[in-house]
Amino acid sequence: MIGMNTTLFADILEIYAGLFDKLVVDLTLFFSWFPYWAPVLLGYLFWHQWMHYVQARYMSNIKWVMLEIKLPKETNKSPLAMEVALNALYQTSAGTWYDKIWKGKVKDWFSLEMVSIEGQIKFFIRTSWIYKNVIEAQLYAQYPDIEIYEVPDYARYVDYRGKYGERTQKRNSRLTHLPLS
């Protein structure tokens, strides 16, 4: 029985010795090619971090406006009119390669929001201040009777704590099950 264990142990050592030799050969090959693949890898990492940096800087400097759209009671326009107005939002571009790489410009985006505030349905468009006049012109061209106002962001006034403040979370966390009836 002791002889069997020593043979097994010797076999395991031989396997691991072969793996160790293979590992040494692979690591030697890996580091011998380091001057060739390292600049490519480091260049890719630098490029990725640079684009992340300039795009984050560009996005943090965008000045946003919130436009409230007040619709008339009745509108006799087809959905094609709204399609034409919204099509103007998709005509923005990310700019030239210089704007993309050095200034970090990304394709502009818009937010069209429908919100119920105190039981009234309201329509908002959140956009960059650069496109404020374009959006107003497109909407007025299709719907001359609408009213457009620049308003503060409605989400600033939302209380996220619940009806009873912070206590709501603690009280509900005690429930371990729901009754069947």
Distances (CA, A) of 63 to 2, 11, 129, 130: 79, 70, 6, 8
Task: Please give the Cα distance from 15 to 38 (Å, whole number).
Answer: 32
Task: Check whether residue 147 and residue 73 sit in a common domain.
Answer: yes
Task: Check whether residue 125 and residue 99 sit in a common domain.
Answer: yes
Task: Check whether residue 35 and residue 73 sit in a common domain.
Answer: no
Q: Considering its fold, how many domains does the chain have in total?
A: 2
Long-range contacts of 86-90 (CB under 8 A, 24+ apart): 86/112, 88/134, 88/135, 88/138, 89/131, 89/135
Residue 169 lies in a domain: no
pLDDT tens digits, 56-111: 999 999 999 999 999 888 878 888 888 888 888 888 777 888 888 898 888 888 89
pLDDT tens digits, 5-26: 667 767 777 777 777 778 888 8
Residue 65: name the closest of 136, 143, 138 by CA: 136
Q: What is the pLDDT of residue 177?
A: 61
Residue reference for tokens 């919204």: 86
Cβ neighbour number for residue 100 with a 10 Å cutoff: 17
Residue 12 lies in a domain: yes
**Last residue within a domain, chosen from 34, 53, 72:** 53
Residue 143 lies in a domain: yes
Question: Domain range for residue 28?
Answer: 2-53
